[in-house]
Amino acid sequence: MRTLLVGLLALTGLSAAQSPQTFTGVVTDDMCAMGGHATMRMGPTDAECVKACIASHGASYVLLDGKDIYTLSDQQTPAKFAAQKVTVVGTLDAKTKTIKVQSIAPAK
């Protein structure tokens, strides 16, 4: 009975961890995420700075929700949302703070 209970609890925990969540924040790069783009200013706008940091410095697209930074598993789709507020649907790997992206759309 105890083994069955432990097994059921483990399955319940896995099911909860796999549920998609919704995150809202700004698509930016991991180099400028907390400091802002004024320091690097790799282009005339924040969006151009984000794209330049990705292309020229090997940075990664991230989602900044105001206090936390999440790496985005999809590194292609965020390009069209650089420096924009978006809603990301996906599953969070809490250990790596990476969102496995299912969708990205402009925030309402």
CB 103, CB 88: distance < 8 Å: yes
Q: Which pLDDT value is given to residue 5?
A: 47
Number of helices (H), then strands (E), in the chain? 2, 5
CB 106, CB 81: distance < 8 Å: yes
Pairing of strands 98-106, 69-72: parallel
Tens of pLDDT, residues 23-81: 999 999 998 877 665 666 677 899 999 999 999 888 999 999 989 999 999 999 999 99
Q: Does domain 20-106 have CATH number 2.30.30?
A: no
Which amino acid, one-letter code, is at 95?
K
pTM: 0.79
Alpha-carbon radius of gyration of the chain: 17
